Structure formats: structure tokens, C-alpha cells
Amino acid sequence: MNIPAVKVENLVKRYRELVALDHFNLQIEDGEIFGLLGPNGSGKTTTINCILSLLTYDKGSIEVFGKEMHPDSYDLKRQIGVVLQNVAVFDELTVCENIDYFCGLYIRDKAKRKQYVNEAIDFVELGDFRKFYPKKLSGGLLRRLNIACGIAHKPKLIFLDEPTVAVDPQSRNKILEGIQELNRQGATIIYTSHYMEEVEQLCTRIAIMDKGKNLAIGTKEELKQLIKKKEIVSIEILSIPEEDLTAIRELPHVYEVRFQNHQLQVLLNGGKHNLIRILNYLQSKELSFGRVYSEMPTLNDVFLEITGKELRD
């Protein structure tokens, strides 16, 4: 039987009257790229800090690689790498010195540490910037330095919190490729992001949490099955009589019809051949239309339906 990389059971964390985690449960298997999603204030950061034993909690248990996690579990902490959303490097140290410093927190042997630092620099492709200071680096290079500092000691479990915020598409692509390579090399990765397309691209399983609870967990395909929206048909059309909109609403599997700015949108909750059925209706009424396309629900649709559309602080 495989031992989970992380196992959280019945976790409760209170800040006076506020319940940040409400009997929260989570299991992350060894070797996964696991997406942990939630709106602002959902409890993601509190969950991560509890797993890392940076916060005390009121109730529950946390195991990492089958061992109970405590503040003094240094044997476990040496196997963990953390890459925070806010770049955390020293401005007075060069790229190489920064990576060496963070690696040195875990690796005492100088020869081994030098090897690991060089491998981390090669991994994030910062070889041409070894002697640069952080203030001389672009945003994308800074992010890559931040990742190198977090993974140089070759951790088995890596927490990546919004690692691609505010970087250009090329840097983002390089970072995502690096994350996939870390996983291929054997690391279990816990990934948080507000970029849903990244999560869809990377993660083997995804948890959506809110108000301190785990609302849904599964593969992206399993999560998409949880929501009502299964298909969206969009059709460019100059005008359409109200009676035809009403007739389309009565077609099989249609649960909502929208018409605005010459765009007809039909939302469906399942079924087959929906697009053909809608087009056949329009043609039978001799209604001219332009571009037509059908979309399946995205992870963003799932996220909004499960957590709601109201703005968060």
C-alpha cells in the first residue's frame, strides 16, 4: 500500500471567533501534481502553513510521508521545498549566493551543496546570470531564482504558491515546464494558482476549498461532471425573434438561452448532437447566422459554480 505524501484529517483552525479551517480533510498521493484552489480567504494559506507546521491548530492530525508532522520534525522538513508567491531572496547576494544560502539550510556537505547549486542553476537556466544581483533581474528571472532557491536541496514534496504571477508568457511557459520536470524526477507538488488554465494543464487532481472546507476534489474531468453546465453553444446571429428564443429553450437538454450583442448562447446540461439540433432549428426558420462554436465547461466554470461569483476581499 502506497503511503500518501500528505494526509490531513479533521483539521480545525480558529482565529478567535473566525473558523479558518472547519474539519478539513485532504489526502495527496505520492507523485501527484495536486492543485489546491480557492477564493481569497478560503483557507488555502492556512492549510499550507498548518501542513508545514508553521501554525498550531485546534484539532485534527497531519501526516507527511506517513509520519506525524510537528514543529520539530526536521527530518520531514528537509524533504520539503517551499516557493512562496512573494519572491523571497536576499538583494545583497548574487543569484549563485542566494541559491547556495537556501540550499545550505538543508545540505551541510560543501561539495554536495556546490553540485546541487549548479544543478539548480542549470535547471532554471540561470547560468548566464550567476553573478547578477536580484535587482538586475527581470520579473521572470526573479521567479526562476525563487524556484531555484526552494528546490535546490532536491525536496520530495514541493509547495508552489502562485509561481507565475506577473511574468511574461515565455517565462510562464518555462516555469510550467520546470514544474512538470520536477514531477517527472519524483517530486510531489502542491500547486496553488488563480490561473485556471495552468491548473488544468498541470494537475493530476484538484481540490476546491472555500470557507475552510473541502468542497470538491477529483480530476478535472470528474470536477466538470459536478456542475450543471456541460456544453455551451455560441452562434453569431444578427437578430432572432423572441418566439424562436422560447422554442430553443424548449429543446432537449437546454436550461438557459441568452441573446446579446448579436450573440446567441445556449447552455446545455448534457446530451448528444445538441449543436446539430440547434442549427437544424435555425435553418428550419430560415434564420441566417455566422460563426458557430461549441465549448465544453472549463475549470473556471467549475470554480465559479462551486464557490460562487461574488467578489472576495
Tens-place pLDDT, residues 98-147:
999 999 999 999 999 999 999 999 999 999 999 999 999 999 999 999 99
182 by DSSP, 3-state: which? helix
The rounded Cα 1 to chain-centroid distance in angstroms is: 27
Indicate the residue type of 194: H
CA distances to 228, 255, 279 from 272, rounded to whole Å, are: 15, 15, 14
CB neighbours (10 Å) of residue 94? 17
Look at residue 309 and tell me whether its pLDDT is greater than 90.
no
Confidence (pLDDT) at 311: 67
- Judge contact between 237 and 288, C-beta under 8 A: yes
Higher pLDDT, 309 or 138: 138
Q: Give the CB-side neighbour count of residue 26, counting CA atoms within 13 A.
A: 33
In the DSSP assignment, the letter for residue 193 is: -
Q: Which of 69-73, 84-88, 232-236, 263-267 has the lowest mean pLDDT?
A: 84-88
At 103 the pLDDT is 97
- The residue assigned the cell 424562436 is 244
What is the predicted pLDDT for the residue at 54?
94
Q: Quick check: 217 and 32 in contact, CB under 8 A? A: no
How much is the average pLDDT of 26-44? 96
Selection from 201, 202, 174, 175 nearest residue 188 by Cα: 202
Which DSSP symbol is given to 129?
G
User: How many Cβ atoms from other residues are within 10 Å of residue 81's Cβ?
Assistant: 23
Q: Which residues contact 148 (CB under 8 A, 6 or more apart)?
A: 95, 99, 120, 121, 123, 124, 126
The H-assigned helical ranges of 86-138 are: 95-104, 110-123
Predicted structure pTM score: 0.89
Residue 24 near residue 209, CB atoms below 8 Å: yes
Q: Which residues contact 309 (CB under 8 A, 6 or more apart)?
A: none
How much is the CA Rg of the chain, to the nearest whole Å? 24
For CATH 3.30.70.100, the residue range(s) in the chain are 231-296
- C-alpha of 273 from chain center: 33
Fold assignment, 231-296: Alpha-Beta Plaits (3.30.70)
Q: What are 300's three cell numbers?
A: 473556471
User: Does residue 219 surpass a pLDDT of 90?
Assistant: yes
Mention the CATH class of domain 6-224: alpha beta
Q: What is the pLDDT of residue 167?
A: 86
Distances, alpha carbon 188 to alpha carbons 33, 35, 102, 225, 305, in Å:
6, 11, 20, 26, 28
